[in-house]
Amino acid sequence: MSKLPAVLITGASSGIGATYAQRFARRGHDLVLVARNKERLDALAARLRDESGVNIDVLQADLTQAQDLARVEQRLAEDATIGVLINNAGAGQSGGFTQQTAAAIDSLLALNVTAVTRLAAAIAPRLARTGEGAIVNIGSVVGLAPELNMTVYGATKAFVLFLSQGLHLELGSKGVYVQAVLPAATRTEIWQHSGIDISTLPEVMEVEDLVDAALVGYDRRELVTIPPLHVADRWDALDGARRLLLSDLRQAQPAERYRVAG
């Protein structure tokens, strides 16, 4: 029996990332855990080694910092044992668009967009060459809902969904599985960091339920997994409408309504 691929997980010190680490360790995968908080990473790694007996490396990194991001990219590009990337690290948004500072916008884009893209780009060529492996990108249902008034955050998560769908089209035929996971409100520390009182939210999913559902989608090789969506046909209808729209966009002339004055 061939050895299971190692899994590199970003944002692994708590919440969704730490739960993914626990679940993959139980499955027998070696891990590379990435986050800023080394003390937490070390504690998690020690516990999972004891529980599961897998090999775990800890890689302290702030993915908004160029030097740290480059170190993780190098590990993904060069370590042939890593066959799965869980692109989980991300930050939330506090306040409306007009309340965002330039520094806050830069930091949010750096983590939610740039790091996600560059880490996927670091591992994708190697996975495509070997014809196997997986990239899991953690998005959000907010990326489907501008009505939720989290404009910058939602835009970054819309990017993650588009990126994942595009990567599937490019890499799927080469044997690389790409999954986008779209949580709704989940009980993690992102709310505290964003200055939002989680008790004010009407419904919140427990992180263990979120990750377990995402892994069901992973095992089924779903391209888009939306754990809180109870009527799966609604996503199929939305995606189907998008595909139908594409056939109407391949036209040489503007639509009639734009060729009539007044």
Residue 1 confidence class, pLDDT cut points 50, 70, 90:
very low
Looking at residue 184, its pLDDT comes to: 84
* Structural contact between residues 51 and 25, judged by C-beta atoms closer than 8 angstroms: yes
Task: Please state the rounded mean pLDDT for residues 168-185.
Answer: 96
Enumerate residues 6+ apart whose C-beta is below 8 A from 26: 51, 52
Catalytic site positions: 153
Secondary structure (3-state) at 10: strand
**Token pair of 120, please?**
């996927």
Residue 258 confidence class, pLDDT cut points 50, 70, 90:
confident
Looking at residue 262, its pLDDT comes to: 59
Q: Residue 193: in which H helix or E strand, if any?
A: helix 190-193
Q: How many CB atoms lie within 10 A of CB 8?
A: 27
Domain 6-231 has CATH 3.40.50.720: yes
pLDDT tens string 47-85:
999 999 999 999 999 999 999 999 999 999 999 999 999
From the list 118, 135, 117, the residue with the least C-alpha distance to 178 is 135
pLDDT tens string 177-229:
999 999 987 766 665 555 555 566 667 788 999 999 999 999 999 999 999 99
Q: What is the DSSP string of 116-139?
A: HHHHHHHHHHHHHHHT--EEEEE-
Looking at residue 171, its pLDDT comes to: 98
The edge-to-edge listing of strands for the beta sheet with 224-225 is 56-60, 31-35, 6-10, 82-87, 134-138, 177-181, 224-225
pLDDT tens string 86-112:
999 998 887 889 999 999 999 999 999
